[in-house]
Amino acid sequence: MNIAIIGAGISAITIAKNLKNIANVTLFEKSRGVGGRMAFRLSGNYEFDHGAQFFTAKHQDFKNFIEPLIKKNVIKRWDARFAEFKNSTLLRETTWDSEYPHYVGVPGMNSISKYLSKELDVRLNTTVNKISKNSNNIWNLFDEKLNNLGEFDWVISTAPAIQSAEILPKYFKYHKDLLNKKMVSCFSLMLGFKKALPLSWDAALIREADISWVSINNSKPHRKKSFAMLIHSTNVWAEKHLSDDPQDVISFLNKETSRIIGYDTSHADHIDLHGWRYANIKKQSKSDLLIDYENRLASCGDWLTQGKVECAFDAGFRMAKEINKIKHE
Ligand SMILES: Cc1cc2nc3c(=O)[nH]c(=O)nc-3n(C[C@H](O)[C@H](O)[C@H](O)COP(=O)(O)OP(=O)(O)OC[C@H]3O[C@@H](n4cnc5c(N)ncnc54)[C@H](O)[C@@H]3O)c2cc1C
């Protein structure tokens, strides 16, 4: 059985790892690296996880999945000094610990997917633009230049729901469900400073403002020492300003950050911005897998449940289980 997986984020890699012994699995990823929204960027001396910041593990399957990666030092605990702000008022400070562990990839969030994809067939820099069935009832995938990417029995898309709806044909049994999964945007502002700001915390959750999160990336384990600050806008603010001039977005987010944390961030030595069109999704009420057995098409991702690394893993893990059953029927 030949299976094509669109994407190489954590849900795609989880599917591929769990199916590689029963099928020939090929992953197609439009970016130049794996990991998807578990993203990492190195700019000079400054390092940033500009997508997912950390993750927690609630369920046993995910705990089992991360355990060997912890042993291999690909995942480590981030015992951050954590602060909560209500607008510019600091409400409380605690330190994360082993009671409720917060994990990160080492040395970057994308390290997990990099490590896991070593033995997988991943085609990077390859955008799947269209798929169609040939006369033998086999799926052909095509890139933007209409290059044929190969023949497959099954196609599983892990691209954000709306993007999956653009790739998969309208007769995909769950096409409407894909269109109904509303994902929202987010901006990531990356600031590097020659001199550390004297903050009493490493990570801050901010409510009732236009930014929702500030973290000191170099406080995570095994990062470079250079002081690197990562700021997330709220989804609401990003939705309204996604098409704004990036310089205006940077200027606004800098002002908002300075106002809330009480230190001027506009003098940063390094400034970079990333806009996530499809960053996140609110908790969903039902999380059935979208598998069209008749057409041999399927789609999954964090958006089935909630914008969390564990939810993306769970979607991929359950998807692999279902496809495995078909093979053994
Ligand atoms: C700003 C931000 C902050 C976050 N913070 C946290 C956090 O602190 N904790 C947490 O648990 N979660 C967090 N998340 C959510 C977490 O990152 C996601 O839940 C998880 O990474 C999703 O994994 P996935 O495999 O489902 O999707 P993705 O990682 O999005 O993978 C999908 C992949 O498909 C590729 N793709 C899309 N279209 C195509 C195409 N046509 N052809 C080929 N490839 C394609 C994409 O490039 C991408 O690599 C955050 C996300 C964002 C954006």
Over residues 253-261, the mean pLDDT reads 98
Q: How far is the CA of 44 from the centre of ligand 1 (A)?
A: 24
At residue 328, the pLDDT reads: 65
Q: How far is the CA of 31 from the centre of ligand 1 (A)?
A: 12
Q: Is the pTM of this model over 0.85?
A: yes
pLDDT of residue 293 exceeding 90: yes
Mode of pairing for the β-strands spanning 148-152 and 139-142: antiparallel
Most ligand 1 atoms within 8 A of CB, residue of 37, 231, 278, 317 to mutate: 37
Q: What are the tokens at 226?
A: 């250079």
Over residues 120-128, the mean pLDDT reads 98
pLDDT of residue 286 exceeding 80: no
Q: Is 6 in the pocket of ligand 1 (CB under 6 A)?
A: yes
Residue 313, classified by CB atoms within 10 Å of its CB into exposed (0-12), middle (13-18) or buried (19+), is buried
What is the percent of the chain where pLDDT is above 70? Answer: 98
Per-residue pLDDT tens digits for 86-118: 999 999 999 999 999 999 999 999 999 999 999
pLDDT band, very low/low/confident/very high, at 329 (cuts 50, 70, 90)? low
At residue 219, the pLDDT reads: 98
At residue 282, the pLDDT reads: 85
Homologous superfamily of 1-34+117-181+288-329: FAD/NAD(P)-binding domain (3.50.50.60)
Per-residue pLDDT tens digits for 6-38: 999 999 999 999 999 999 999 999 999 999 999
At residue 135, the pLDDT reads: 87
Q: Is 157 in the pocket of ligand 1 (CB under 6 A)?
A: no
Distance CA 148, CA 24 (A): 17
Q: Count the Cβ atoms, other than its own, within 10 Å of residue 128.
A: 24
- Which residues have C-beta within 8 Å of that of residue 84, sequence separation ≥ 6? 90, 91, 92, 93, 204, 205, 206, 207
pLDDT of residue 253 exceeding 70: yes
The verdict on domain 39-111+184-280 having CATH code 3.30.1330.80 is no
Q: Where are the domains of the chain?
A: 1-34+117-181+288-329, 39-111+184-280
Q: Is 167 in the pocket of ligand 1 (CB under 6 A)?
A: yes
